[in-house]
Structure 1
Amino acid sequence: MLTNLLPTLTATPLLAIGLTLAAYLVGSAVFIRLGKPSWLPAILIAALLLAAILALLGLPYATYQQGATWLTVLLGPATVALGMPLYQQLPHIHELWRPLAACLPIAAALAACYALGIAWLLGASPDILASIAAKSVTAPIAIGITEQLGGNVALLMGSLLVTGVLTIPFVSLAARLLRINDERIIGFALGLNGHAIGTVRAFDISPTAGAFASLGMSLTGIFTALLLPLAWRLVGIGAG
């Protein structure tokens, strides 16, 4: 019966949007119920739940993605809205602009290069390399970069999720090992490496950490969008 209804339900984006919002609400509730563990963010719970629902319904991902495009459009304005906490923290940002400017190119380049290096050593195809190259960039920018490189957006979204989820415990562990207590540095590292997921975690720490995470996420996106396609063409990956 449900199989017969699917074509009708998927004729509009309402099913995809409804499933996405329901999965996130349930994921958020479970996340709070578990005590907000850093290793299991709400978005990961929601993604796993949504994947299970799509599998049970037999709904192809391409069909779901087509309906969920309306939600993807909102990612741009949501990212721009992060400019408000940046404005509020301008005095603190001005204090650290030199070290931040020095570490950004190195960290952003490493964020792309280490993943590409590992994938290349494992024999990944050019299509896969193009799909994971922008895995540390916020989704609205990463999607555009991946399409320009000729990668697969679905694979990119998976790599974005994995990167964001793993960034949180790794940054926390590194901060403890290096005895870093400055919320500005921790927030910047979360945003630079973990894009929106890391930024959400940074706002849980403090508004200051969230603002610096927004800064790291934004600057990484700009830096990667400007230089990654150029470097891709110069290296000639996928030229054959």
Structure 2
Amino acid sequence: MTEPSGGNTDKPRRPVVVPAVALVTFTAVGITALLGGLNEAPEQPDPLSEGAVLDQGLYSTKFVGSRVKIEPAQNEWDEEKRFVELVFNVTNNSDETLLVGLPPEKVEQAYTSTFFAGSLVKIDPAFPGEDAGPFAYALSKGGETRQLHPGVPTEVILRYKLQKGQQPPAKISLDVASYEFASQFNNNVEAWRMISKEVGQKHLPEIKARVTMSVKKGDSA
């Protein structure tokens, strides 16, 4: 008598071997899918430090460094003042005189600014206190100014006042945006505008670079 065509069903089956590389690939793809897809991971901004030069489109900026500046008391009723200063060398690449400006209070407020300091969209750590600042100005032959003239490299100071007993941070980190010459959001007229993306009801600036500067201590005014 012949055996059934199905053979002996009690015969042990040989295990299927899956290459380890395939398992790793499958796992990686699965995790990536859970995180939102292969092409949706957010790009990290370029990490820079003091001395770096960044092309911001509208500005060319050298991040000179950061320091503690001490202003001695002017009389017996006055008090010594201490500031953390961030120093930049900025060239206005446009054909018009622009303002130094101030950093935005909130990130979502930054995209309308063409001021230089408006591109410093996040500063970490923050400096508490109503009189802490920020204060910003440029230095010229005539003293302090708030203007940046076309094509002229200009030293810019951004400063924060330290409160009594407050220690300066060891480092300061800046999230820096950039600009493009393009049509405006509400018309076809080309002009300089901050590069941003629409997220819900907000326009959030794209971070061109994250700059970390060590704070040097002990400079007197």
Does the pair score TM above 0.5?
A: no
Greater share of strand residues, 1 or 2?
A: 2
TM-score normalised by L of structure 1? 0.23
Task: Report which structure shows greater RCO (CA 8 Å, sep ≥6).
Answer: 2
Identify the structure with the greater helix proportion. Answer: 1
| TM-score using structure 2 length | 0.24
**Max radius of gyration: which structure?**
2
